[in-house]
Amino acid sequence: MMEFAVRTGQLPVLQWLHTNRPEGCTTYAMDEAASIDRLDIIQWLHENRREGCTTNAIVNAALHGYLNIVKWLRTHYDEKCTKTAMDVAARFGHLEIVKWLHTNCSEGCTAYAMDDAAAYGYLNVVRFLHENRSEGSSSAAMRDASINGRLDVVR
């Protein structure tokens, strides 16, 4: 039940369920709150529940471009950063998140970060990764950029 309250962004309902129902919740609640930009719910869960989150929370926040949530999760759940977080931030052109993860997390990324940024035309992300990361890209980067008509990236 608590997960459904989180999914719909209903903090008052979540609080009521916490007080009046014995079922509790799972890590999915905080993971989901990260995907809908609800830092208030994340903070409430952190202060009032013990389930915490999985690595999906920071990945969800990075995927959707919620830098404030990425920062908060990294501060409070240090071990939750993964290569996937930077990969998805790059794929969706969230340069500020890519930069922040590069500076604040040792996990790095994979070649998929540059491959996907190139394929979807995020030249600013491609440039940053090229200048600051050593993972590089695969042959798919230029092929996919060409297929998608991203001439600016191919050049």
**Looking at residue 101, which CATH number applies to its domain?**
1.25.40.20
pLDDT band at residue 1 using 50, 70 and 90 as cut-offs: confident
Q: pLDDT tens digits, residue range 77-97?
A: 977 789 999 999 999 999 999
- For residue 130, being part of any structural domain is answered with yes
pLDDT band at residue 153 using 50, 70 and 90 as cut-offs: low
> Which residue range(s) make up the domain with 155?
83-155
- For residue 32, being part of any structural domain is answered with no
Of 19, 46, 50, 17, the closest CA to residue 33 belongs to 46
Count: domains in the chain: 1
- For residue 41, being part of any structural domain is answered with no
What are the Cα distances from residue 136, in Å, to 51, 89, 115, 118, 139?
37, 16, 9, 11, 10
- For residue 19, being part of any structural domain is answered with no
Q: pLDDT tens digits, residue range 114-151?
A: 999 999 999 999 999 999 998 877 666 666 666 566 65
- For residue 88, being part of any structural domain is answered with yes
- For residue 8, being part of any structural domain is answered with no
- For residue 60, being part of any structural domain is answered with no
- For residue 107, being part of any structural domain is answered with yes
User: In this structure, what DSSP letter does residue 78 have?
Assistant: G
